[in-house]
Every structure is written in structure tokens, then in C-alpha cells.
Structure 1
Amino acid sequence: MQMRNKTTDENGIPEWAIVELQGLIQLKKENPSGVTVAGDLHYFNRNGHPVLILGHHVLNGKEVKLEHPMAVIEKIIIDEKTQYKVKAIVKKKLLFKSRPKPIISNVADKV
């Protein structure tokens, strides 16, 4: 899952986060453009905890600092020479391990 993040470290390298989910996400439709949106990630909780909205379900999570940071690298081959470029640093993960809660917007009255 790729997320846009504007946070950078002191060297200007973007900081990314890992999203960890317990379970399986099944998407109903494939988007012809190749971009599939699974849900929305928000930080609007009172405590600043991440909230993930997938369809008609809400998952509450927490931000966990990784014990050892990881680097996301890109392999570049130019004139038979291999170089590696650091694309981002991963220092935290967003952990969603609780069961999803359904979103109920309107309850129909008895007809």
C-alpha cells in the first residue's frame, strides 16, 4: 500500500510508514487506470492515532516506532554500472490489529 507523505528528514529524504493490517482486504472492482484506492487514512482522532476507513468499516490503529529503521532503495543501472539510490526511510509503522467497526449512517425505519 503506497501513501503520500510530505515528511522528510534532515537530508531531504522522504520518511515513509509501513501499514500493518491483520486479516485480508478484498477489493470488489479493479480500476482500469491501474490505480486502486482501498480506503482513506486519517489522523483526526483526539489522541492523534491513525484511523483507516475501508468501505463501510473503520479501523482504529496506533503508531509504533520501529526498533531498527529501514531504507527503501532503488536499483539503477547506467552503462552496465549498478547504483543504488535511497528513495525513503521507514522509521514507523501504523498498526491496525483490532476488528473493524461498521459505519452506520442511516437506519431505515420500519415500513
Structure 2
Amino acid sequence: MQIQVRCGCGEAACPEWAVVEVQGVLQPQPCFSGRIQGLHIGRLCSTSSPPSSKGGYTFTIGYHELAGSKVTLKKPLLVLRKKKNGKGGTGELGQGGPAEVELEVIGIIRHKILFKDRPKALISKPVPKEKKALPAAATPSTVPPAS
């Protein structure tokens, strides 16, 4: 079977996507019960402005911070959306061939952001309490003796 790939936006105009590669496992809390679509995982930031081709990135997940870098893929990847066309029939026996399948290009992946080191724990120091100074009138040396 031949599958046709179509890009309606032109190669130069296709949106750029990137892959985020993390070593280890990301486990959502049990309360999400498998519903991870649209789940906020963390915050991805570029450490250089503007982001360069080999720039550094940080990925903050909860109380952990990962440091990574942008890597160019040897071969670009396509992000595809599958569409079925009814030109070939219904696909049932005796009523023509199977429906044609067309793949639409919705993005190109040329880079990945690689986080290969262990995360750094983000533990903040407690705020030091300020000592309150006593007013000068209340110090024992300035209080007049009782008669």
C-alpha cells in the first residue's frame, strides 16, 4: 500500500518542533489516573538570550532542576497527521478497495533538547528572622531608679 505524504505549508514554512529527552521516568501523581493530556509538567527555559543553536536549557519539575543542551538530529523527523480519503470505497469485501490514507505534515523536528545529567534539588534556605532591637528608653541603664 502506498501512503502519500503532503505538506501544504511548504518546507520552509512548516512549524519547527523539538523533542525533549529526559533520562529516567516522569511519574504523575496517582490522582491524575492516566489523564496526562494537557498536564503541566514543568517549566522549560533557555539560559541564553536569544536562544542559540548550542544554547543551554533548564527544565524545572517540582523541586528539581535539570540542565540540558540543544542537539541537532542527524536526520530530521516529520510530525504527521493521518487522514482517510473515501476515494477507494468503504473497505468492506466486494465494495471496492480500502480507503486511501494520506499523511499531512504538521511539523518538522530538527533538534532535541537533551537532559542527560541528574537533576539538582532546589531547596531554598529558610528566611532568617530579624532580631528586634529594644528602644533606647527601655534599656535598664537609662531607667531612673525608683525612690
TM range (shorter): 0.7 to 0.9
Equivalent residue, structure 2, for 1:30: 32
Distance 1:98 1:33 in 2: 25
| Count, aligned residues | 102
Kindly report which structure 2 residues correspond to 1:61-80, keeping only aligned pairs within 5 A, or say none: 61-79=68-86, 80=99
Q: Is the 8 A contact 1:45 1:51 kept in 2?
A: no
Q: Distance in 1 between the 2:127 and 2:64 partners?
A: 19
- Change in Cα spacing, 1:26 to 1:64, as seen in structure 2 (3 Å) is same
**Residue number in structure 2 paired with 1:40:** 43
User: Which residue of the partner structure matches residue 59 of structure 1?
Assistant: 66
Q: Normalized per residue, which structure has more helix?
A: 2
Q: Deviations over 1:16-68 (max 9, x none)?
A: 11111111112224187942111110013578411100000000001000011
Tell me the distance in 2 between the aligned counterparts of 1:70 and 1:35: 23
What is the TM-score of this pair, normalised by structure 1? 0.77
The alpha-carbon distance between structure 1 residues 39 and 73, as it changes in their structure 2 partners (threshold 3 A), is: same
Q: How far has the Cα of 1:83 moved from its partner?
A: 1.1
CA positional deviation for 1:11: 2.9
Cα shift at 1:10: 5.8
The answer to whether structure 1 residue 81 and structure 2 residue 84 are counterparts is no
1:83 maps to amino acid: E
| Superposed displacement of residue 84, structure 1 | 1.1
2:14: which partner in 1? 13
Flag the structure with larger Rg: 2
Task: Give unpaired runs (5+ residues) of structure 1.
Answer: 1-8
Which AA in structure 2 matches 1:38? I
Q: Percent identity?
A: 33
RMSD over aligned Cα atoms: 2.7
TM-score, normalised to structure 2, is 0.60
* Structure 2 residue ranges without an equivalent (≥5): 1-9, 87-98, 129-147
Q: CA deviation at 1:107?
A: 2.8
- Give, in whole Å, the separation in 2 of the partners of 1:49 and 1:78: 44
